[in-house]
Amino acid sequence: MTALARKGAVHMAGAFVMMGGWAVFANSAHPMPLPLLAGLVQGTISALITLFLKRMIEAVSRRLSGLAALLVPPLLAFCLSLVLLSILHSLAGTPEIAATIAVPLIVSTSYAALYSYALWRS
């Protein structure tokens, strides 16, 4: 089970299902296929963000020192995620963009903050 938990594809699949499922729920008041499209878009973006977020935090942290190494990676993760999610959901015609991206932004920024803290302390 531990070996499975270390596989990036497992994390990507989990992000796709959880955040895609959230997007379907957040848009469920709208007629089909809008909720499913929002879920597919969000799930795909979340899977890709999951793949690259850890690497980005490590790369940025290595280039900074002091308090900047703690604060810049999560701030950068939040800003990049916000822009990316807003643009792609807008292009996809997601009806409830703010509700759709709220949970993924909180999750990715929280992860970035905790991981940055762990790197900063070591």
> DSSP string of 76-100?
HHHHHHHHHHHHHHHHHT-S-HHHH
Span 10-52, pLDDT tens digits: 888 999 999 999 999 999 999 999 999 999 999 999 999 888 8
What pLDDT band is residue 4 in, cutting at 50, 70 and 90? low
Counted domains in the chain: 1
Print the domain residue range for 107: 2-121
pLDDT of residue 48: 92
